[in-house]
């Protein structure tokens, strides 16, 4: 079983780099740490960056997860091949563009692209954004799935993920003591559902909610509370149809032995305990 | 000094008793404790009633406070009369209608009808609302004041209230360890300005926000968080334009000697630290 160290970054391709950069900095509240003609890197915590916007013809998304070393990466490549996934080794140049030593990329059965990275850059300088959004860091990624459980099998059998809870067939998968780092929601298509950043507390979540409204950002879900992870959430529309969320107060799963995944009913109340409005079809239940 | 022990109930006239009852039960979440020929009693906590609606002028408001003993009641009557307030001694029938042993009534300097009650009835049966609003009890009132500085002196010198904080000229007054039980807001006329019920948690505030919004109840402020009392709040409009508030997490003032009141600005930031803007005349310049 391949151990995932942590969630590292999300790489989004965008046809309009200037608009995406403006959104990530001014609206979302990330800090620009590096800018090249075709890539902009954003910091949210002590990771060098957790979001990259890259110039592209059409929107794309890759989620990067860290593995410990080159040996683990080699083992992952074999394990993926054995499970029927074609993984591609990144070239040295591509690795440099990602500020990692080595990586390989592969797509899951729903077409979600992942990168396994070795030795991604860390920062000695703390995150210092232009706007006080109260961001603590990249928390988790929600993805769409067409593959009827194949993703759950991939991340729990080939990798060391554990299911924390299910809502209907949607699976919340953890790799550390956070309730989940990846969530897969059944859908008619693949791709990112929401990229979620943790904020300090409920005050920051609600302050951001009023800020987004004042900036006329389209809020598509929440503010609400997830009965599964106990996270407070607020989801809003970003560039290229990608959604972003602020989350706070999520449950920690400290005792691996004692936690048993719970099955929640497939209805809206399992996604929000506050009864908030939601425009996202996958989260209607 | 008149020693107020607690706020007991409010009595409100209404042109539409059935409509007001429907609001109080189905929307606000109170429980009808008794229907009499005079009006309808509602309970929100362990007390027999904390709200009374009667057929009458919607501008007719009464707020009642509990005193500790019959001597306190008699002393209060003497003190008020010495200051020139006309004091009405409650008749036995009036006391029975208020579910108290004895009471006196007078007008505060702004003309608000105030009742001081002795031995208000407690209930053997716990409160069980018509909907799960999470109400833990009737907690405080806002009073309209035609001269907040004068009225502050009345409540703090003639009565035992202490200033916990001020928003502009509006003092928030405590009579026990709860941050405020009476708040005075500048207004051209007298009247009860808002009626507060505490709810169990911030989740309850947000659940009610969505519940009431869906039912097209007019939201006038929030959801938000008061920088003064640190309570999370929601203000909405009930029958006859009366403003009702839910809040949760109000600050407790344990140390009377060390506590110092603060001055907050009379603008949206003084009322909310999340960025909500009040749509309540008494909270606006």
pLDDT tens digit sequence for B41-96: 999 999 999 999 999 999 999 999 999 999 999 999 999 999 999 999 999 999 99
Across the interface, of B203, B273, B276, the residue whose CB is closest to A274 is: B203
Q: Which of B214, B227, B275, B278 to mutate to test the interface with A (most CBs of A within 10 A)?
A: B275
Q: Is B225 on the interface with A (CB under 8 A)?
A: yes
User: CA of A226: which chain B residue's CA is closest?
Assistant: B203
Q: Is residue B124 pLDDT above 90, yes or no?
A: no
CA distance A140 to B107: 59
**Which chain A residues are within 8 Å of B209, Cβ to Cβ?**
274
Q: Is A225 on the interface with B (CB under 8 A)?
A: yes
Q: What is the pLDDT of residue A116?
A: 98
Across the interface, of B207, B210, B274, the residue whose CB is closest to A203 is: B274
**Strands B262-264, B162-167: pairing kind:** parallel
Q: Tell me, what's the ipTM? A: 0.78
| pLDDT classification of A155: cutoffs 50, 70, 90 | very high
**Which chain B residues are within 8 Å of A225, Cβ to Cβ?**
203, 206
Q: What is the pLDDT of residue A187?
A: 97
Across the interface, of B210, B225, B275, the residue whose CB is closest to A211 is: B275
Q: What is the pLDDT of residue B125?
A: 86
How far CA A47 is from CA of B33, B233, B265, in Å, comes to 59, 36, 40
Of the candidates B11, B262, B7, the residue with the CA atom closest to the CA atom of residue B139: B7
At A231, list the tokens. Answer: 């996270």
**Which chain B residues are within 8 Å of A273, Cβ to Cβ?**
203, 207
pTM of the model: 0.89
Are B274 and A214 an interchain contact pair (Cβ–Cβ within 8 Å)?
A: no
Q: Specify whether the CB–CB gap between A75 and A34 falls below 8 A.
A: no
Looking at the complex, report in whole angstroms how far the Cα of residue B192 sits from the nearest Cα belonging to chain A: 29
Cα torsion for A201, A205, A207, A213, to the nearest 10°?
Answer: 180
Are A206 and B223 an interchain contact pair (Cβ–Cβ within 8 Å)?
A: yes
Are B214 and A206 an interchain contact pair (Cβ–Cβ within 8 Å)?
A: no
Q: Is B210 on the interface with A (CB under 8 A)?
A: yes
Q: What is the pLDDT of residue B49?
A: 98
| pLDDT classification of A285: cutoffs 50, 70, 90 | confident
**Which chain B residues are within 8 Å of A202, Cβ to Cβ?**
202, 232
Which residues are paired to B31 by β-bridges?
A: B43
Are A207 and B274 an interchain contact pair (Cβ–Cβ within 8 Å)?
A: yes
Of the candidates A10, A54, A41, A1, the residue with the CA atom closest to the CA atom of residue A196: A10
Q: Is residue B264 pLDDT above 90, yes or no?
A: yes
CA A113 to chain centroid, in Å, comes to 12
Q: Which of B201, B206, B221 to mutate to test the interface with A (most CBs of A within 10 A)?
A: B206
Q: Is residue B161 pLDDT above 90, yes or no?
A: yes
pLDDT in tens, A62-80: 999 999 999 999 999 999 9
């Amino acid at each position: 079983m391949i151990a995932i160290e942590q969630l590292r970054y999300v790489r989004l391709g965008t046809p309009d780099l200037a608009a995406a950069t403006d959104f990530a900095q001014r609206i979302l509240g990330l800090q620009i740490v590096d800018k090249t003609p075709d890539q902009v890197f954003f910091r949210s915590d002590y990771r060098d960056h957790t979001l990259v916007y890259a110039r592209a013809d059409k929107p794309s998304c890759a989620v990067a997860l860290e593995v410990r070393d080159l040996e683990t990466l080699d083992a992952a490549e074999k394990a993926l091949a054995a499970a029927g996934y074609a993984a591609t080794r990144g070239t040295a140049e591509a690795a440099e563009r990602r500020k990692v030593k080595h990586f390989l990329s592969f797509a899951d059965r729903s077409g979600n692209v992942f990168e396994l990275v070795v030795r991604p850059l860390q920062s000695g300088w703390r995150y210092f954004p232009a706007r006080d959004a109260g961001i603590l860091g990249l928390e988790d990624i929600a993805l769409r799935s067409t593959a009827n459980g194949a993703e759950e099998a991939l991340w729990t059998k080939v990798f060391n993920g554990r299911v924390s809870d299910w809502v209907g067939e949607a699976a919340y998968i953890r790799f550390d003591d956070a309730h989940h780092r990846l969530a897969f929601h059944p859908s008619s298509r693949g791709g990112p559902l929401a990229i979620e950043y943790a904020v300090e507390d409920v005050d920051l979540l609600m302050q951001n909610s009023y800020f987004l409204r004042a900036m006329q950002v389209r809020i598509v879900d929440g503010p609400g509370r997830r009965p599964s992870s106990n996270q407070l959430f607020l989801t809003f529309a970003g560039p290229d149809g990608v959604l972003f969320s602020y989350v706070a107060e999520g449950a920690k799963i400290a005792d691996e032995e004692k936690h048993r995944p719970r099955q929640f009913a497939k209805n809206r109340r399992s996604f929000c305990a506050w009864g908030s409005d939601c425009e996202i079809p996958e989260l209607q239940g | 000094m008149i020693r107020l022990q607690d706020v007991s109930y409010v009595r409100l006239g209404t042109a539409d008793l059935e409509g007001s009852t429907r609001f109080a039960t189905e929307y606000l979440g109170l429980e009808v404790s008794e229907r009499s020929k005079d009006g309808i009693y509602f309970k929100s906590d362990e007390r027999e009633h904390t709200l009374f609606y009667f057929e009458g002028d919607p501008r007719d408001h009464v707020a009642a406070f509990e005193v500790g003993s019959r001597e306190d009641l008699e002393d209060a009557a003497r003190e008020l009369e010495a200051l020139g307030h006309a004091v009405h001694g409650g008749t036995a029938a009036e006391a029975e209608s208020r579910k108290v042993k004895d009471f006196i009534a007078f007008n505060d300097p702004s003309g608000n009808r105030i009742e001081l009650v002795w031995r208000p009835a407690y209930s053997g049966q716990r409160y069980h609302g018509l909907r799960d609003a999470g109400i833990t009890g009737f907690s405080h009132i806002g009073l309209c004041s035609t001269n907040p500085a004068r009225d502050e002196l009345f409540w703090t010198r003639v009565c035992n209230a202490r200033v916990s904080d001020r928003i502009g000229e509006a003092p928030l007054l405590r009579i026990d360890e709860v941050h405020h039980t009476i708040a005075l807001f500048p207004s051209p006329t007298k009247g009860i300005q808002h009626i507060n019920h505490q709810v169990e948690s911030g989740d309850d505030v947000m659940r009610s926000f969505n519940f009431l919004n869906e039912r097209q109840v007019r939201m006038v402020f929030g959801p938000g968080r008061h920088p003064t009392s640190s309570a999370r709040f929601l203000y909405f409009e009930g029958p006859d334009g009366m403003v009702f508030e839910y809040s949760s997490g109000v600050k407790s003032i344990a140390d009377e000697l060390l506590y110092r009141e603060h001055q907050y600005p009379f603008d949206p930031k003084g009322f909310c630290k999340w960025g909500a803007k009040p749509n309540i005349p008494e909270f606006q310049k």
